[in-house]
Amino acid sequence: MSPGRPDPASGPAGAPGTTPTEEGVAGDADAPATSGAGPIGRTGRSVDDRSEAAAGVPTDRSKQPAPSAARSTHPRRRVAVVGLGDISALHLAAIADLPDADLVAVCDTDAARCAEVAERLGVPGFASHGELLERVRPDVVHVCTPHATHGLVGTDALAAGAHVLTEKPLDATLAAARAFADAARAAYASAGRKTGVCLQNRYNATTLALRDALASGEFGSPVGARAGLWWHRTPEYYAAAPWRGTWAGSGGGVLMNQAIHTIDLLGLLLGPPLEVAGHAATYGLPVEVEDTAAMSLLHPGGLRSTLTATNLHASNAPVLLEVGTTRGALRIDDGTLTWHPAAAGAAIELAAEPAVDGARAYWGASHGALIVDFHARLADPEPFWIDPDAALPSLAALREVYAASGLIDPRDR
């Protein structure tokens, strides 16, 4: 049978504290029992992570589950959003469209911003997520704060009895992320409380079609992959939210804020990385964190992928991701998945992303799909398919590149 169009339909349907605002989306901060050493940087040492996903062991969570009939039977849920920067607008819009959820509170340490959003939406606003959790007792908490507070807010929300949907990454360091994952695993085991992570590019129409194409075998077996991200960030971008450019606040630069989604997709398509080599540095921006990086990932079965990423490009170009196969190449570029046969013949379009308007159209439009799916699956018996364990491998990989590049203490991955 000749290669045809994959069917994308087979994819997806506490203690008081203060929480500043995350302004990030689609992998970008302007919007965006797992322990042990992670992948190693330029030396290419092997991964040692006790999570099944990080160890490359197939789990049910590595494949998106089918919709559950239970999703339409649960009562209305009370939802709170902590952190009201740019990315929160996507969360608030998606929550407003949910047929079985009500926004009941918002939280931000910026008093003026919190008051404006609270008044506009007709809900109480809080400066402390701890006070919000104590007084409102929401069923679900969306965490949209800066990276270094994701674990704190998420763990407190789980302890208060809420399900949690957090922005990526799990936290600014791998140690903090693993602690968050431990808390999430315990909360699920003891009380069925779920935690999801916004790695929303897994919901892109082109990603779903590419996974289907590889699974079909129709296009050959994968032999490796390449990916590239060339975006544009200015000193003003970092000055607008200074935490973005710091190791303490963000945990990294272009790899952590922008390219983490692409690293996640390489692991999703080829299997979680077993070894990592790479280098990251700051070449042009006046910030602590890196603005340019390159890395090589060794996946199960000896497959290798490479990635380059920079924030020094003149514009925000579309992300490129290509999987080579024994019969040709499947390439995502400029919002389109195309098949490039090794034999003579023209490229064939297999899928395309829906049109998105605006200056940030290059982010894509899958955030809302993930949020809707997370809420729809809360009544399902299994963990959400993108839980903290699923999010650890990409974070471990990039933090190891930082350590190998001398940007962070190897003990503080």
CB 204 within 8 A of CB 330: no
Please tell me the predicted confidence (pLDDT) of residue 360.
57
pLDDT tens across 397-406, in order? Answer: 999 999 999 9
Query: pLDDT band at 75, cuts 50/70/90?
Result: confident
CA dihedral (127, 96, 377, 31) in degrees, to 10, reads -60
Please tell me the predicted confidence (pLDDT) of residue 74.
63
Query: pLDDT band at 26, cuts 50/70/90?
Result: very low
Given a cut of 50, whether residue 340 has pLDDT beyond it is yes
Report d(CA 41, CA 399) in Å as an integer.
8
Mean of the pLDDT values across residues 168-183? 97
Report d(CA 241, CA 113) in Å as an integer.
14
pLDDT tens across 346-398, in order? Answer: 999 999 998 776 655 556 679 999 999 999 999 999 999 999 999 999 999 99
DSSP string, 363-390: G-S-HHHHHHHHHHTTTSSS--SS-HHH
Report d(CA 90, CA 68) in Å as an integer.
25
Q: Where in the chain is the domain with CATH 3.30.360.10?
A: 205-363
Mean of the pLDDT values across residues 235-254? 96
Phi-psi region of 223 (alpha: psi -120 to 50; beta: other; left: phi over 0): alpha
Instruction: Kindly state the DSSP code that residue 75 receives in the 8-state scheme.
Output: P
pLDDT tens across 95-141, in order? Answer: 999 999 999 999 999 999 999 999 999 999 999 999 999 999 999 99
User: What proportion of the chain, given as a percentage, has pLDDT over 70?
Assistant: 80
Q: What is the largest CA-CA distance in the chain?
A: 66
CB 153 within 8 A of CB 19: yes
Instruction: Return mean pLDDT, the chain.
Output: 85
pLDDT tens across 280-310, in order? Answer: 999 999 999 999 999 999 999 999 999 999 9
Look up the pTM and report it. 0.86
Query: pLDDT band at 410, cuts 50/70/90?
Result: confident
Please tell me the predicted confidence (pLDDT) of residue 412.
74
14-200: CATH homologous superfamily? Answer: NAD(P)-binding Rossmann-like Domain (3.40.50.720)
Please tell me the predicted confidence (pLDDT) of residue 90.
93
CB 279 within 8 A of CB 229: no
Mean of the pLDDT values across residues 174-187? 98
State the burial class of residue 294 (Cβ atoms within 10 Å of its Cβ: 0-12, 13-18, 19+): middle
Instruction: Kindly state the DSSP code that residue 317 receives in the 8-state scheme.
Output: P
Q: In this structure, what are the phi and psi dihedrals at residue 4, rounded to the nearest 5 degrees?
A: -135, -170
Mean of the pLDDT values across residues 28-33? 39
Other CB atoms within 10 Å distance of the CB of residue 122: 7
Other CB atoms within 10 Å distance of the CB of residue 296: 16
Whether CATH 3.30.360.10 fits 205-363: yes
Query: Of 54-58, 103-107, 265-269, 321-325, which gets the smallest average pLDDT?
Result: 54-58
Please tell me the predicted confidence (pLDDT) of residue 380.
95
Buried b (16+ CB within 10 A) or exposed e, 49-77: bebbbbbbeeeebbebbeebeebeeeeeb
Please tell me the predicted confidence (pLDDT) of residue 257.
96
Nearest one of 315, 280, 313 to 295, comparing CA atoms:
280
Report d(CA 337, CA 150) in Å as an integer.
33
Report d(CA 85, CA 21) in Å as an integer.
5
Angle (CA) 166-154-14 rounded to 5° is 155
Identity at 67, one-letter amino acid code: P
Nearest one of 312, 271, 242, 261 to 23, comparing CA atoms:
242
Query: pLDDT band at 411, cuts 50/70/90?
Result: confident
Other CB atoms within 10 Å distance of the CB of residue 312: 15
Over its C-alpha atoms, the chain yields an Rg (Å, rounded) of 20
Given a cut of 80, whether residue 33 has pLDDT beyond it is no
Identity at 135, one-letter amino acid code: R
Identity at 102, one-letter amino acid code: D
Mean of the pLDDT values across residues 229-236? 97
Report d(CA 247, CA 117) in Å as an integer.
29
Please tell me the predicted confidence (pLDDT) of residue 361.
59
Given a cut of 80, whether residue 279 has pLDDT beyond it is yes
Identity at 34, one-letter amino acid code: T
Dihedral sign for Cα atoms in the order 75, 162, 115, 250? negative
Angle (CA) 271-202-27 rounded to 5° is 100
Q: Where in the chain is the domain with CATH 3.40.50.720?
A: 14-200
Please tell me the predicted confidence (pLDDT) of residue 63.
59
Q: Of 49-63, 66-80, 228-242, which one has max mean pLDDT? A: 228-242
Please tell me the predicted confidence (pLDDT) of residue 304.
98
Instruction: Kindly state the DSSP code that residue 411 receives in the 8-state scheme.
Output: G
DSSP lists the bridge partners of residue 339 as 330, 348
